Amino acid sequence: MGKIRFLKTTTNYPNYMDAFVLNNPEILSMNYEAALKFYFSDCNSWADYWKINLEATGNFICAEVIENASFLQMKWASERGLKFNENQWREEILLEQIKDFRPDVLFLVDQYGDNSLSKKIKQLVPSIKLLLGWDGILWHKPETYENTDIILTCVPETADFYRAHGKKSYYHKFGFETSVLERLTRKKKQDDVVFAGSLILNENYHMNRLKLIAELSRKTNLTIHASSLPKNWSLFHRYRLMNTIRNKNYQFALDLQRVGFKNKGEVFGLKMFNALYNSKIVFNTHGDNSIKTAANMRMTEATGVGSLLLTDWKENLHELFIPDEEIVTYKSAAEAIDKIRMLLNDDKLRTKIATNGQNRTLREYSYRARMLEFEKFLTPLLE
């Protein structure tokens, strides 16, 4: 067979996209191809790393679409003279892009678990041989992927869950794009320890994460870059104060006040990578629903840039990194605090573990390695 035509469509956080356009208004005057390339140059999330590394194998022709980026999508439609309903632009433009590319494999990645267009896409685009979906948040709803051929996930038990429900699944470990290293800038003074990530304060999301970060910030020199933090985090905000009194949840209010006050603002893309790079220790903690296994992106991002990763202990962690040799783990806030203090007082040990972790990531978890492994899984299914 000829080269596999692979199309990945994804969604990005609206607050990231809004900030990117605000800080880079020149993108609005670029044509679609130039604007998309410029957008990906910020290295946010997966950027165009699937395309770059699958095409590097010589066996793929790939394209990437950010389906909820209106400033990109409407530009694509305008350049082709495509008329669309202003209230349905996202669906209509996406369908036209898929039909235009004529993929053999379509990978739908939606951070909100939206797979509602799968059936319609299959009906409208007969070139599609395989339709892939993504569950990276333990969504665990088979009905969402009713028209999906393969479900990809970064969580081992999620892969097992869908297989038990009769769906083919692929366990995709997160990777690190090595070209990011060429784009990093070292500050004169590194931060001691940094947390960079989201704080979605809903049940089964990041309530425990908030407690941990608040406690660490009280007892260590923790730099916080939190996103998704409620705008009414202040205890003295009228709604927050009334809610605290009504529910008597005083510790939560104090933790939120602490983190909100210490928060230096969200970082994405290259700013996030530089924040990790310029920290001696990167503090990581999984979401509240990820009880058993380690799976998040921060592990390979932190180790990839060469900082020491301090992450919460999980059952499968030893399968990814060697604890105390390539990363450091903790099981409680108290243990994390003790290990931060110990590692900051032992530069030689901290540097050794960080170097070992980076070597492991660059060797086994680069996007190049991830895509070579994915190619071995995918190609036989198309023969």
Amino acid at site 291 = I
- The token duo for 258 is 């602490």
> Helical H runs in 132-286?
156-164, 207-219, 238-247, 250-262, 269-277
Q: How far apart are CA 15 and CA 36, in angstroms?
A: 17
User: Same CATH topology for 4-175+366-382 and 179-364?
Assistant: yes
Question: Domain residues of the chain, as ranges?
Answer: 4-175+366-382, 179-364
CATH no. for 4-175+366-382: 3.40.50
Digits of tens for pLDDT over the chain (383 positions)? 689 999 999 999 999 999 999 999 999 999 999 999 999 999 999 999 999 999 999 999 999 999 999 999 999 999 999 999 989 999 999 999 999 999 999 999 976 667 788 999 999 999 999 999 999 888 898 898 999 999 999 999 999 999 999 999 999 999 999 999 999 999 999 999 999 999 988 877 899 999 999 999 999 999 999 999 988 888 878 878 888 888 888 999 999 999 999 999 999 999 999 999 999 999 999 988 777 899 999 999 999 999 999 999 999 999 999 999 999 999 999 999 999 999 999 999 999 999 999 999 999 999 999 999 999 999 999 98
Q: Read off the tokens for 14.
A: 């609206």
- Give phi and psi for 151, each to the nearest 5: -105, 120
Q: Which of 123, 78, 132 lies closest to 99, judged by CA? A: 123
pTM: 0.94
Write down the CATH superfamily of domain 179-364: Glycogen Phosphorylase B; (3.40.50.2000)
